[in-house]
Amino acid sequence: MYKIYVKDQPIVLLSRSQPFNREADNKRSWIRLPFRGNTKHLHAVVDNLEKSPKPMGFVLEGSDPETILHHFTRTFRPIHAAGGVVQYRPSSEIALIYRRGYWDLPKGKIDPDETEEQAAVREVREELGLQSLQLIQPICKTYHIYRDKDQRILKITQWYHMQSAEAELHPQTDEDIEKAVWVDPQIAVSDYRPMYENIKEVLRLYIKKMHHT
């Protein structure tokens, strides 16, 4: 299963045989549709989510989720980014940033000469002002579609669990970061508002992975 967000509204990609639990997000109106490879279909789904005045979501089903995702990457220009959930050692707190009215995680675009890991570490260092960083493991990838002028972009972000023993955070103000704070991840998910849905999902997966280590 994959999930692509459009203005905090989800598109879930499933194979025909996969079940989907709508009750897990029952505040939305869900529409389930078959996908047969028509790119106009993808634009129509995104149009609906951009214009919807109420919470809704689409479930697109096909032969397999990877094939549907491939159609998205061919239909919308992909931009690749990387970022991190930074854990402060010796506590379990993580670093959040506040930028342009939202609580977020540090991330940024991958340069042509960088690996995903290198870009993630560089962006976290720049946005949090940390020098000492240890990359632990990958968490997940997130996908969201946004407009850049008249073009729709599919942003694909690889997230990593990192650790740092530095207590002092220095937000990168020239990137519009107003605050950088250490906070318990459970509190971050439940109490820090506003926060994008895909960021909440990263944090939930991070918490789940931590509970299994």
From the list 119, 14, 121, the residue with the least C-alpha distance to 57 is 14
From the list 162, 158, 154, 121, the residue with the least C-alpha distance to 142 is 158
- 3-state percent breakdown (helix, strand, coil) of the chain, nearest 5: 30, 40, 30
The tokens of 178 are what?
A: 């107003």
The average pLDDT across 112-128 equals: 98
From the list 156, 95, 101, the residue with the least C-alpha distance to 130 is 95
Final residue before a domain boundary, out of 55, 75, 95: 75
Residues 203 and 128 both lie in one domain: yes
Residues 205 and 144 both lie in one domain: yes
Q: Helices 39-51 & 65-75, crossing angle to 10 degrees?
A: 80
CA 178 from centre of chain: 20
Higher pLDDT among residues 121 and 26, named by residue = 121
Per-residue pLDDT for 90 more than 90? Answer: no
Per-residue pLDDT for 202 more than 80? Answer: yes
Residues 90 and 149 both lie in one domain: yes
Higher pLDDT among residues 27 and 68, named by residue = 68
Residues 137 and 40 both lie in one domain: no
Q: Cα–Cα distance between 76 and 24 in angstroms, integer?
A: 28
The average pLDDT across 156-176 equals: 97
Residues 17 and 83 both lie in one domain: no
pLDDT band per the 50, 70, 90 thresholds, residue 127? very high
Residue 136: CATH number of its domain: 3.90.79.10
The tokens of 26 are what?
A: 């029952």
The average pLDDT across 193-203 equals: 95
pLDDT band per the 50, 70, 90 thresholds, residue 18? confident
Per-residue pLDDT for 23 more than 70? Answer: no
Number of residues assigned to the chain: 213
Residues 41 and 111 both lie in one domain: no
The pLDDT of residue 114 is 97
Residues 125 and 155 both lie in one domain: yes
Per-residue pLDDT for 46 more than 90? Answer: yes
Angle (CA) 50 55 57, round 5°: 70
Q: Which domain holds residue 31?
A: 2-75
**In the chain, how many domains are there?**
2
Residues 174 and 69 both lie in one domain: no
User: Across the chain, what does the average pLDDT equal?
Assistant: 94
Per-residue pLDDT for 110 more than 90? Answer: yes
The pLDDT of residue 213 is 62
Final residue before a domain boundary, out of 51, 75, 99: 75
Residues 97 and 190 both lie in one domain: yes
Residues 110 and 98 both lie in one domain: yes
Q: Cα–Cα distance between 12 and 162 in angstroms, integer?
A: 28
What percent of the chain has a predicted confidence (pLDDT) above 70?
A: 99
Residues 65 and 115 both lie in one domain: no
Q: Cα–Cα distance between 160 and 117 in angstroms, integer?
A: 8
Extract the runs of DSSP E, i.e. beta strands, from 43-126: 56-62, 77-88, 94-99, 102-104, 107-109
